[in-house]
Structure 1
Amino acid sequence: MKKYFAPILTLLASALIMCAQEAIKVDRVDFNSLRDDWIQMEIELSCEGNPSEEARHKNFVENIKVKVYLAYTRDASSREYDYYTSEAEIIIMEKGDDNNVYFYLPGLIAERDNLKQDPDFYYVEVSVDGEAQKPQKTAMSSNIPNIDILNSFVSKADSEGAANEHLLMPIYLVSGVELGRVSKLPAFLRRDVRN
């Protein structure tokens, strides 16, 4: 019995360590319908501290990129999808911080393509200092059951999403629209093109 118990404990301990090593957790992803058919994507993040040996300070996580992937059915019979991607960069979060990141799809796009509030597939990829964190179950739709399907989805979104590039926007690029319920925004790093 002991020879089976020790490997199980080791496996559980390593799983806990792997979870603890993620600097930023995706706590929840939610989609909301807004006025004039706009769709809001809300991502709740929490900061677990910085596990990196090279961290300037263990309580602060910097250079956080949040990239989102969405897919809405275009033609169910041929299993064709419209893909939307966008990203936002957070300058810094402190251990214990809870922040929200918001993305928006314009109402006229939702109306034109008859998009429902929730996409058929979604995934939120979090990177810290240019290194993608391990995929988190709370960061993806329930119909992405394993890493192979996730990788296929991300690959298709990257290759087939060019037609919808820039249509899904982070909150700081949206104006003239009621943004819905918004709270706990982080400090964003904006890389807008300047003249």
Structure 2
Amino acid sequence: MKKYFFPILTLLAGSLVMSAQEAIKVDRVDFNSLRDDWIQMEIELSCEGNPSPEARDKNYVEKIKVKAYLAYVRDASAREFDYYTSEVEIVIMEKGDDNNVYFYLPGLIAERDQLKTDPDFYYVEVSVDGETQKPQKAAMSSNIPNLDILNNFISKADSEGANNEHVLMPIYLVSGIDMGRVSKLPAFLRRDVRD
């Protein structure tokens, strides 16, 4: 009986994380080390179509927000982390589209805090038209094994990340550096503050 219990439990837990049909799928998250110690976060997305009954056209998904959550260990013995978050909004994607979203962590931050390229924890939250999609396995680090730990991580990042607000930057706010390999950018909606 015990030998069957764990695989069934694992299957059930996996079904909680993966949803049957989400409009936007996170295919892969990758981290790259760039010149001058900058860290690039690359998020590969694909559009599955619009499952909403109110969709203007089932082949198009609009108002897509992609929020990145990162955590790097500051003090391992005290279990203290530095959290970084950033968000972009994609205007529209068409069914079958593959687009990439990029965020950058400045090299001087990485150098000062001796950050390795891959964070200790990460998660990519996707929402469509104000509705947060269910967590996807490819959107989170492997050391986030269940929804309780994920929710705790998001909560801590939101509450303790204020010191690092705006440090993790979307691609359109970065200039003057080697951006690394960049391809298939979507149309971003920018809401920059204007005086």
Taking structure 2 as the reference length, the TM-score comes to 0.90
C-alpha distance in 1 between matches for 2:117 and 2:104: 11
CA distance in 1, matches of 2:73, 2:56: 44
> AA paired with 2:82?
D
C-alpha separation in 2, matches of 1:113 and 1:130: 35
Q: Are the aligned partners of 2:19 and 2:136 in contact in 1 as well (CA < 8 Å)?
A: no
- Provide Cα deviations, 1:42-94, integer angstroms capped at 9, x if missing partner: 00000000000000000000000000100000001111000000000000000
TM-fit CA distance, 1:167: 0.2
Amino acid paired to 2:60: F
Q: Which residue of 2 aligns with 1:169?
A: 169
1:36 counterpart residue number: 36
1:123 alignment partner AA: Y
Structure 2 unaligned regions, length at least 5: 1-11
1:21, CA displacement in angstroms?
A: 2.4
**Structure 2 counterpart of 1:156:** 156
The Cα shift of 1:194 comes to 1.5
Report if aligned partners of 2:29, 2:43 keep a CA contact under 8 Å in 1.
yes
Matched, 1:105 2:101: no
Q: Give the letter for the 1:111 counterpart.
A: E
| Greater than 3 Å deviation, 4+ residue runs | none
Cα distance between partner residues in 2 of 1:190 and 1:175: 16
1:57 corresponds in structure 2 to: 57
Q: Aligned pairs, how many?
A: 181
Matches of 1:20 and 1:63 in 2, distance apart? 21
* Structure 1 position 20, deviation (Å): 4.1
The answer to whether the aligner puts 1:85 opposite 2:85 as a matched pair is yes
**Corresponding residue number in structure 2 for 1:181:** 181
Q: Tell me, what secondary structure is at the counterpart of 1:119?
A: coil
Which amino acid is the alignment partner of residue 104 of structure 1? Answer: Y
Q: Which amino acid aligns with 1:158?
A: D
Distance 1:19 1:161 in 2: 28
The residue number in structure 2 matching 1:69 is 69
Q: Does 1:136 align with 2:136?
A: yes
Check whether the contact 2:39–2:106 (CA below 8 A) recurs between aligned residues.
yes
Alignment deviations for residues 135-193 of structure 1 (CA, whole Å, 9 cap, x no partner): 00000000000000000000000000000000000000001111000000000000001
Alpha-carbon deviation of 1:131? 0.6
Q: Which AA in structure 2 matches 1:46?
A: S
- What 5-or-longer segments of structure 1 have no aligned partner? 1-11
Amino acid at match of 1:134: K
The CA distance in 1 between the partners of 2:21 and 2:81, in whole Å, is 34
CA distance in 1, matches of 2:147, 2:38: 31
Report if aligned partners of 1:20, 1:48 keep a CA contact under 8 Å in 2. Answer: no
Query: Matches of 2:148 and 2:19 in 1, distance apart?
Result: 20
Are 1:101 and 1:185, in contact at CA under 8 Å, matched by a contact in 2?
yes
CA distance in 1, matches of 2:66, 2:49: 17
In the alignment, residue 180 of structure 1 is paired with which amino acid?
A: G
Identity rate of aligned residues, in percent? 86
- Report the 3-state secondary structure (helix = DSSP H, G, I; strand = E; otherwise coil) of the residue aligned with 2:123: strand
Matching residue's letter, 1:193: V
